[in-house]
Structure 1
C-alpha cells in the first residue's frame, strides 16, 4: 500500500492536473465564449447597420423624392419667371428698338436742322462781314465828306474873326468898336473894309476847361464876329494880336484884354479844344490856328505838328 506521503503526492499531482485541465477548459471556453460574443455582437452590429442602411436608404429615397419634387416645382417656378423675364426683356428690347428708331429719326431731324442753321449762320456771318465792311467804307466816306464839308465851311469863314473880351456898351456900334480897336493897334480900318459885324453869344457846343482863366475871360462878354471884305485885311488885323500886352490900353472902360480867334467850325473848335487839352497834358508850349488849321509845337526847336484829326492827337506822346 502506498504511503501517506505518496498519496499526498498523488493527490497534489491530480490537483495540479485538474488545475491545468481547468485552465485549459476555462481558456477554451473563454475563447469560444468570446468568439460567440464577438460573432453575436458582429451579427448584431451587421443587423443594426443593415437596418440603419435600410432606414437611411428610405430616408434618402424620400429626401431625394422630396428634393426632386421641390426642384421640379422650383424649376417650374423659375421657368415661369424666366418666361416672364423673357417677355419683359423682349418688350423692353422692342420698346428700346422703337425708342431708338424714334430718337434716331429725331437725331437726324435735329442734325438736319443744325446743318441748316450752320449754313444760315455762315451766310449771316458772311453778310455781317460784308455789312461791316460796307459800314466801315460808309463811315470813311462820311468822314471824308464831313471833312470836305467842314473844309468848304471853313473857307467860307476865311475872312471872319472872333473878338473876345470886349465889354458891351449901351447903344454900341460893333463896327465902330472894331475900327476903334484897329486904331489902337496902329491899323487904319474903314467901314468899307467890313462886310459884316455883330455881337453874339456862342452856343455851348464845345467843352471849356473850368480852370482856364483865359477861357473864362473870353466868355465873360458876348463875342464880336467881324467879317472883312478881304482876306488880306483880316490877316493884317489878326497879326496885330501879337502887339497886345498885359498893360495895353484899349481906350474902352472895363476892358482888360483882347483875344482874337479864327471863326472855326464846330468840328475844328472841338479839335482845337482837344489840342489845348493835349498841350497841357504833354506840357507842349504852343498851340494855335492859322487859316482854319490847328498846330501844336513842343518848343521853339521842335517841329510843328499839324493836327487835322483826333488820331493825330492820340498818337502824340
Structure 2
C-alpha cells in the first residue's frame, strides 16, 4: 500500500501534468481562436470589399450608361449639325458653281475686250510713234526753214547798225547825227554812203537787244537804225565802238554813252539775249556778235564758242 509520501508525489505529478495539459489546451485553444478570428475578419473584409466593389461597379455602370446616353445625344446633335453643314456646303457649292459659270463667261467676255483693246492700243501706239516721227521730221524741216529764212533775213540786214543812247532833238536829222558821230570817231562819212536812217522803238524785246542793264539812258531814247550802202563802211563804223570810253566826248548835249549793235533778226536777238544770260551765269568774260553770228568766250586763253542754237547754250557748264 502506497505511503502518504508516495501519494503526495503522485498527486504533484498529476497536478504538474494537468498544468502542462492545461497550458497545451489553452495554447491550442488560443491559436484556434486566433485562426477563427482571423478567418472571420478576412471573411468580413472580403464581404465588405465585394459589397464595395459591387457598389462601385454599379456606380460605374450607371456612369457609363449616363455617359453613353449623353454621348449618343451629342452625337445625334452633331449629326444633325453635320447634315445642316453638308446642306449649306452643297448650296454654296452649287451657288459658287453658278457664280463661277457666270463670272467665267464675264471673264472670257472681258478678256476678249481686253485683247481687242490691246490690239487697238498697239495700233494707236504704232500710229502715235509714226506721228511723233513725222512731227519730229516736220519740226526739223521747220527749224531748217526758219534758220534758212532767218539767215536770208540776216543777210538783208548785214549793212544795218543800231545806235542806242543818242538823245532825240527837235527837228533832228538822223543822218546828220550819224555823220557827226563818225567825225568824232575820226571817220569820214558822207550822206551818199548811207542808204537810210531813222529812229524806231522796240516794244516786246527792247530789253533783249543790249547786253548791259546800265542802259536806262539809252532806252529812254528811240533807237537809230542806219543802213550803210556797203558792208565795208558799216564794218568800219562798227569797229569804232572800241574807241568809246566813259569820258568820251560825243559833242551832243545830254549824251553820255553810245551802244552799237548789229541789227539782228528776232530769233538771233532772243538767242543773243540767252547767251548774255549764260555769260553772267557761268562768269564768262566775252559775248559778242559778228555778221549775225553769236560767240562766247570764257577768257582770252579759252577757245571761242559759236552759239548757233539753244542746245549749244544748254550744254555749257
The superposition leaves residues 241-273 of structure 1 with CA deviations (integer Å, 9 ceiling, x where unpaired) of 456565555443333444332211122122223
- Alpha-carbon shift at residue 12 of structure 1 (Å): 0.9
- Change beyond 3 A, Cα 1:133–1:42: same
Structure 1 residue 288 corresponds to structure 2 residue 283:
no
After TM superposition, list the pairs within 5 Å mapping 1:142-153 onto structure 2. Answer: 142-153=142-153
**In 2, are the aligned partners of 1:207 and 1:270 still within 8 Å (CA)?**
no
- Alpha-carbon shift at residue 274 of structure 1 (Å): 3.2
Other-structure match for 1:3? 3
**In 2, are the aligned partners of 1:206 and 1:266 still within 8 Å (CA)?**
no
Determine the C-alpha separation between the residues in 2 that align with 1:238 and 1:210: 16
Other-structure match for 1:189? 190
- Give 3-state SS (helix, strand or coil) of 1:82's partner: helix
Determine the C-alpha separation between the residues in 2 that align with 1:53 and 1:238: 139
After TM superposition, list the pairs within 5 Å mapping 1:1-317 onto structure 2. Answer: 1-38=1-38, 40-41=40-41, 44=44, 59=59, 61-101=61-101, 104=104, 108=108, 111-112=111-112, 115-116=115-116, 118-184=118-184, 185-190=186-191, 192-207=192-207, 212-213=213-214, 215-241=215-241, 249-280=249-280, 286-297=286-297, 304-316=304-316
**In 1, are the aligned partners of 2:296 and 2:306 still within 8 Å (CA)?**
yes
- Change beyond 3 A, Cα 1:78–1:249: closer
- Give 3-state SS (helix, strand or coil) of 2:252's partner: coil
Determine the C-alpha separation between the residues in 2 that align with 1:242 and 1:49: 141
- Alpha-carbon shift at residue 205 of structure 1 (Å): 0.8
| Deviating more after overlay: 162-171 vs 44-53 | 44-53
Long gaps (5+) in structure 1: none
- Give 3-state SS (helix, strand or coil) of 1:170's partner: coil
The superposition leaves residues 147-170 of structure 1 with CA deviations (integer Å, 9 ceiling, x where unpaired) of 122112222223322222322111
TM-score by length of 2: 0.76
The superposition leaves residues 196-225 of structure 1 with CA deviations (integer Å, 9 ceiling, x where unpaired) of 322222224154589643x44432422111
**In 2, are the aligned partners of 1:158 and 1:291 still within 8 Å (CA)?**
yes
| Deviating more after overlay: 120-129 vs 142-151 | 120-129
Determine the C-alpha separation between the residues in 2 that align with 1:95 and 1:46: 70
- Change beyond 3 A, Cα 1:271–1:14: same
TM-score by length of 1: 0.76
RMSD (CA atoms): 3.8
The superposition leaves residues 7-48 of structure 1 with CA deviations (integer Å, 9 ceiling, x where unpaired) of 221211221222233334434444554555555555555555
